[in-house]
Every structure is written in C-alpha cells, then in structure tokens.
C-alpha cells in the first residue's frame, strides 16, 4: 500500500516536472477564473498565506493584478510544491518583479503529506486544484490544517472529476465552518471557502 502511494506520488511529480514549461499557457486562464470566483482582496489583509501546491505561482501574478501598489499588499506568502520544475518557473517570475514585492514570497519544495512547518503558524490556507493529486487527500488536508491557527480562512478547490461533492463536504463539515461552496459546470473544480474550527468534544 505504502509502495503504491510512493509510486503514485513519484508519477505526479514527474508529470508536473515534465509539463511545467507549458502549464501557464494551457491553464493560466482557467486558474485565474477560479481565483476570480473566490479570492477577494480583503481575504488577504494581514495574513500569512500558505499556498498548498503553489505550482508556477499563477496566484502571485493574480495578486499583483489585484492590487494597485505594493503598499496595499498587506500579506506574506509561503508556497509549497513537490515539483522542482514548477517551483523554478515560480522563482523566475519572482526574479523579474520589484524586490519589495518578491520579498513577500517564500517557497518550500516539500510534500503536502509531510510538511516541514510548525503547527499553528498560518492564518490563511489557499489551495487551488492541488489536493486531488495526493494519494491520500484526507491526510494531506489534515497536515495543512495543523499548521493553521484556529478560525483561519481556508479557500480550497479540488478537481470535480476526482471527487464526489457530498464526500468532500461531509469530510470538511466537522473541520470548518463552511461559508461558501461553488459547484458549477462552467468551473472544473468544486471550490470551498470556510473557517477552521476545532470542535469541542462535548
């Protein structure tokens, strides 16, 4: 079982490494459409963002379009990804923008199922079209949950074809107060926005 998972993960990593050079061209517009649906400037205010499966950093480009000046960008960002090639594309983008903006970004090459990050350190989780790649979505998501403070905002999307909406919602229900669910055919993902809650055992 463990062998199978490791093999699957290796395959995913190789797939993204091999396709990283055309990722933005093929998926840029599609990903931007998803961000448009669910991420608002006020969500980012005074946050330390954890972007789970950050890829080539399309989200960072979206943030730069969202704000008129760097003074309005009141957040810090950490992106984690397992694919070195996707991350290198992200780094190239950061190297081209002004230092004041790129200093807000930190990247970690790591596996979402084994995060080298302290618990309770972030207050915004964003993950767009990444968790469905994990051999064990629940484990991966729980790992991300641990590094989030209580009451943090979570914005998560998962490819619809990989998951039943009902399963997804029932899984999230006892971990977050769900604020919004977007499940429309024109968008290829199911998108969920909610607040992390720790349920009392009583």
Ligand X SMILES: C[S@@+](CC[C@H](N)C(=O)[O-])C[C@H]1O[C@@H](n2cnc3c(N)ncnc32)[C@H](O)[C@@H]1O
In eight-state DSSP terms, residue 57 is -
Measured CA to CA, the distance from residue 86 to residue 193 in angstroms comes to 25
Q: Would you count residue 75 as binding ligand X (CB under 6 A)?
A: no
Q: Would you count residue 152 as binding ligand X (CB under 6 A)?
A: no
Interacting span for ligand X (CB under 6 A) from 37-45, 65-73, 76-84, 177-185: 76-84
Q: Would you count residue 133 as binding ligand X (CB under 6 A)?
A: yes
Q: Which of 47, 60, 129, 152 binds ligand X (CB under 6 A)?
A: 129
Q: Would you count residue 191 as binding ligand X (CB under 6 A)?
A: no
Q: Please report, for residues 15, 82, 88, 177, 194, the alpha-carbon distance to residue 107 in angstroms, rounded to integers and kept in the order given.
A: 20, 11, 10, 29, 24
Interface map 83-102 toward ligand X (x if CB under 6 A): x--x----------------
- The answer to whether the beta carbons of residues 104 and 73 sit under 8 Å apart is yes
Report in angstroms how near the CB of residue 201 gets to ligand X at its nearest. 31
Q: Would you count residue 145 as binding ligand X (CB under 6 A)?
A: no
Dihedral sign for Cα atoms in the order 140, 175, 194, 43 = negative
Name 19's bridge partners.
none
Nearer to ligand X, 113 or 160 (CB): 113
Which tokens in the block code for residue 45? 């205010």
Nearer to ligand X, 61 or 104 (CB): 61
Q: Please report, for residues 11, 52, 147, 165, the alpha-carbon distance to residue 135 in angstroms, rounded to integers and kept in the order given.
A: 11, 15, 20, 18
Q: Would you count residue 53 as binding ligand X (CB under 6 A)?
A: yes
List residues near ligand X by CB under 6 A: 9, 12, 16, 31, 53-55, 58-59, 80-83, 86, 111-113, 128-130, 133-134
């Amino acid at each position: 079982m463990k062998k199978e998972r490791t093999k699957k993960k290796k395959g995913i990593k190789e797939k993204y490494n091999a396709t990283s050079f055309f990722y933005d061209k093929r998926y840029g517009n599609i990903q931007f459409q998803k961000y448009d649906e669910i991420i608002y400037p006020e969500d980012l205010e005074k946050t330390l963002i954890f972007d789970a499966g950050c890829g080539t950093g399309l989200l960072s480009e979206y943030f730069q379009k969202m704000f008129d000046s760097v003074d309005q960008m009141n957040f810090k960002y950490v992106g984690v990804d397992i694919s070195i090639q996707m991350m290198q594309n992200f780094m190239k983008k950061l190297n081209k923008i002004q230092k004041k903006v790129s200093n807000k970004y930190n990247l970690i090459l790591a596996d979402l199922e084994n995060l080298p990050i302290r618990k309770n350190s972030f207050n915004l989780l964003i993950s767009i079209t990444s968790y469905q790649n994990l051999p064990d979505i629940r484990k991966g998501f729980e790992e991300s949950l641990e590094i989030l403070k209580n009451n943090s905002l979570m914005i998560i999307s998962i490819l619809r074809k990989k998951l039943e909406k009902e399963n997804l919602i029932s899984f999230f229900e006892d971990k977050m107060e769900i604020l919004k669910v977007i499940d429309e055919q024109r968008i290829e993902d199911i998108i969920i926005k909610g607040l992390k809650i720790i349920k009392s055992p009583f």
